Structure 1
Amino acid sequence: MLSREQIVDTAVEMLDAGGEGALTVRALTERLSTGSGAIYYHVGTRDDLLDTATETVIGAALAARPAGEAATPGDEIRVAALALFDAIAAHRWLATRLTLQIVRNPVGPVTVGIFERIGGQLGALGVPRASWFDAASTLVHYILGAVSQNARIEGDTSGIDPEGDREELFDAASAAWRGLDPEAYPFVHAVAGQMREHDDREQFLTGIAVILEGLTRLR
């Protein structure tokens, strides 16, 4: 018997394979050898299905916990943030849907779940209660911005090859930066090599560390 979980899992597979454009009720019914009525009964409309797929993937990411029993609040935040980063790297359609959820549905399970998972650690970090919302928002905004930058861009992608080779892209950009006038652009010229060699996940974690260090100074 067809279940809601089967429908959602199949929808996620289709989204991973072809993006939002690949997920239609008709394509889903053909994949599952069922009728559209079963989809609407178990999940609802296509938009409902996209929301549910987003909730499912994000929920699994937020369930990640640090290994060991001596985890600090900072460890909890880093693990959750990196799980979100990795989820969007694995599901390239997710960045757009996640942003829509945060903006359009502040009381939905995705928004509430992310803020609770991240913000729930701030008191133990020593952040004053009056600063909790601002601190959590800073972390969430950084996470969303960083993961979205590393995900496929939806909408106008003229001049952008979403399947382009990352190493070639940064090699070319690094060479272009090194070709700039070092007197006019001393900083850009100095970090050109670092841009070519950087690791996205490590850079992401560095940003989290910088924010956490700043938050501890709010005490």
Structure 2
Amino acid sequence: MLTHFFVTGTDSRVGKTIVSRALLQAMIAQGKVVLGYKPIATGSQELADGVRNKDAVTLQKSSSVSYPLSRITPYALSDEDIFTSHLPKNIFEQMTDGLHFLRQEAETVVVEGCDGWRTLITPKRRFSDWVVQLNMPVILVVGIQEGCVSQALLAAEAIIADGVPLLGWVANRINPCLAHYAETISAIRQNIKAPLLGEIPYLPRAESREMAQYLDLSLLNELSVA
């Protein structure tokens, strides 16, 4: 059984949180206890009751057990803070500690990244470095839009080159007007060896919908992570 895996995207705003929600819902439907974890998030807002990040809220509502947002997203940054915030020098260790805590509380933890695979969290440290350090299996979210074939192939090649397992990819239709949708999916399938785990159609207010039916996790059931 997969105890944890990492969800990355071809870019920002391709639907990583929506796919993470679908993955959590699909595993809950299988009777598993699962939790979402997004250690670093941008786009957060300072509210009267503290910092709030909508992605963290979506993961919180999609998990088997409700945990405080500070556990789900310990570093909730505004868009302006991502390069100016003073993240601690031991940021990777703290992210790992948070993951270990949640792993004790759930059978599987869905770890969502920030933006794409090569995202910098400090001027010299990439989010992917942490994933590689933990040898964490990866699921790639491809936002189906113009130019996504090249983005998908580049991202998949980078993940594989870094030496971590690419479990599969999920197509998220973020442009409902895109022509040649089927041909786009076919082109990516023929050039990425990892399996297509599902296709999520364009859905308004997807963060509040049930989406387990769009995924087929049977290919993941026999995988195990120490």
After TM superposition, the score normalised by the length of structure 2 is 0.28
Q: Identify which of structures 1 and 2 has the higher relative contact order when contacts are C-alpha pairs closer than 8 Å and 6+ apart.
A: 2
* Higher helix residue share: 1
After TM superposition, the score normalised by the length of structure 1 is 0.29
* Higher strand residue share: 2
